[in-house]
């Protein structure tokens, strides 16, 4: 059930503004996500009719809206071990394990990160993300490991979400890619959008496109393994779906194990990757409440390091001991 209905009249002098932006400015105590949920639930109206987020309003227009109640979660806490990098009463930083799904879905069990968080935090998580996503500020793909932030309070959720939306934080990933880039570093600025022919995939466009959003990735070579593969560090300035996977593929270097974007088993490798070889190694963010700078680093997991060792072994020059010449009998 929604809460009490409120009204907001757009100040005179505003010629045109999106309805969601008008409410976000007028009610800074509500997060943008919460306001978006109100629109999605049909709880924002103009002239008695529900409107969408992008509905244009003008000075003198009056909006009526209410916020949906936060329903108690029906998810069960499950005691799943978490690798904690930082924790206080406002937020939690973890090193997410590869293979762990962040939030529940139609095809998930009771082994998601949310289930683990409910047990670890004993229900003390921000409700801004909704019943199915308590505390979740951002996400990592199922197969991606590494640093992830979780909000315990609504204030932390709002502060972290603002830093993500304004790109005021630093995010760096390690990726193992097939082949060797021609350059040692570079910057990719290609819009990313849904692949029109394969909707489960994203694609990079060479120029602006109405179905794509701007995306920016800086990358540099960390270590090369002959012609087989390369360890690349990526710093992303935007947070598009599959951004690193799509951008590096556009350079001709698909991530090892990324079958969705064209990886095929390489018989030259002593072992084959069991997942997409991508790890969120480093995140720098300001604490949303105290303002303190948090510099968070997660070491790569065992399977990532094992893949590096396998690549080194496969590309290491053989060191055969020279044989002593046989004695010639007279």
**DSSP string spanning 221-283?**
EEEEETTTEEEEEEEESS--TTHHHHHHHHTT-PBTT-GGGT----TTSSS--SS--EEEEEE
In a domain, 324, yes or no: no
- Looking at 22-36, 54-68, 263-277, which range is the least confident one? 22-36
In a domain, 130, yes or no: yes
Answer with the residue of higher pLDDT: 109 or 266: 266
Could you tell me if 215 and 285 lie in one domain? yes
Could you tell me if 250 and 297 lie in one domain? yes
DSSP state of 47: T
| Segment of 16-25, 106-115, 118-127, 146-155 carrying the highest mean pLDDT | 146-155
In a domain, 193, yes or no: yes
In a domain, 264, yes or no: yes
- Of 166, 185, 217, the residue that ends a domain is 166
In a domain, 328, yes or no: no
Task: Check which CATH number belongs to the domain holding 192 and give it.
Answer: 3.30.2350.10
Neighbours of 276 (CB within 10 A): 26
How many distinct structural domains can be found in the chain? 3
Q: Is the pLDDT of residue 225 over 70?
A: yes
| The predicted structure's pLDDT at residue 272 | 93
> Taking all residues of the chain, what is their mean pLDDT, rounded to a whole number?
89
| The predicted structure's pLDDT at residue 2 | 52
DSSP state of 61: -
- Of 166, 185, 211, the residue that ends a domain is 166
The CA-based angle 199-201-205, given to 5 degrees, is 100
Could you tell me if 189 and 113 lie in one domain? no
User: Which residues constitute the domain of residue 36?
Assistant: 6-65
Could you tell me if 53 and 174 lie in one domain? no
Could you tell me if 161 and 182 lie in one domain? no
| The predicted structure's pLDDT at residue 309 | 94
Could you tell me if 183 and 281 lie in one domain? yes
In a domain, 321, yes or no: no
Could you tell me if 122 and 195 lie in one domain? no
In a domain, 211, yes or no: yes
Distance of CA 299 to the CA centre of its chain: 17
Q: Could you read off the pLDDT of 245-285 as tens digits, one per residue?
A: 999 999 999 999 999 999 999 998 888 999 999 999 999 99
Banded model confidence at residue 72, pLDDT cuts 50, 70, 90: very low
Could you tell me if 174 and 305 lie in one domain? yes
Could you tell me if 172 and 161 lie in one domain? no
Listed residue (53, 4, 37) closest to 45, CA to CA = 53
| The predicted structure's pLDDT at residue 324 | 55
| Prediction pTM value | 0.76
Q: Which residues are catalytic?
A: 141
In a domain, 327, yes or no: no
For residue 104, CA distances in Å to 83, 115, 121, 157 come to: 20, 8, 17, 19
């Amino acid at each position: 059930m929604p809460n009490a209905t409120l009204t907001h009249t757009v100040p005179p002098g505003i010629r045109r503004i999106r309805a969601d932006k008008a409410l976000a400015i007028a009610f800074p105590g509500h997060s943008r996500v919460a306001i978006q949920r109100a629109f999605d639930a049909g709880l924002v109206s103009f002239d008695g009719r529900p409107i969408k987020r992008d509905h244009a309003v003008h000075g003198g227009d009056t909006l009526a809206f209410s916020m949906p109640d936060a329903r108690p979660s029906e998810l069960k806490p499950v005691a799943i071990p978490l690798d904690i990098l930082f924790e206080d009463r406002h937020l939690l930083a973890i090193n997410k394990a590869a293979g762990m799904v962040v939030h529940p879905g139609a095809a998930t069990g009771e082994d998601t990160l949310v289930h683990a968080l409910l047990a670890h935090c004993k229900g003390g998580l921000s409700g801004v993300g909704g019943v199915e996503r308590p505390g979740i500020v951002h996400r990592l793909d199922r197969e991606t490991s590494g640093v992830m932030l979780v909000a315990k309070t609504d204030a932390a959720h709002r502060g972290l979400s603002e830093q993500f939306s304004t790109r005021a934080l630093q995010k760096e990933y390690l990726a193992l890619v097939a082949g060797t880039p021609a350059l040692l570093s570079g910057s990719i600025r290609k819009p990313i959008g849904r692949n029109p022919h394969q909707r489960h995939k994203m694609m990079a466009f060479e120029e602006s496109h109405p179905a794509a959003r701007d995306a920016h990735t800086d990358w540099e070579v960390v270590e090369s393994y002959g012609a087989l593969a390369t360890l690349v560090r990526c710093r992303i300035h935007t947070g598009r779906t599959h951004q690193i996977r799509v951008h590096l593929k556009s350079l001709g270097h698909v991530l090892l194990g990324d079958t969705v974007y064209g990886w095929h088993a390489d018989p030259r490798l002593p072992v084959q990757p069991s997942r997409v070889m991508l790890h969120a190694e480093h995140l720098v963010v300001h604490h949303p409440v105290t303002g303190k700078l948090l510099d968070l680093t997660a070491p790569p997991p065992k399977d990532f390091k094992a893949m590096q060792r396998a690549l080194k072994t496969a590309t290491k020059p053989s060191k055969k001991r020279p044989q002593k010449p046989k004695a010639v009998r007279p």
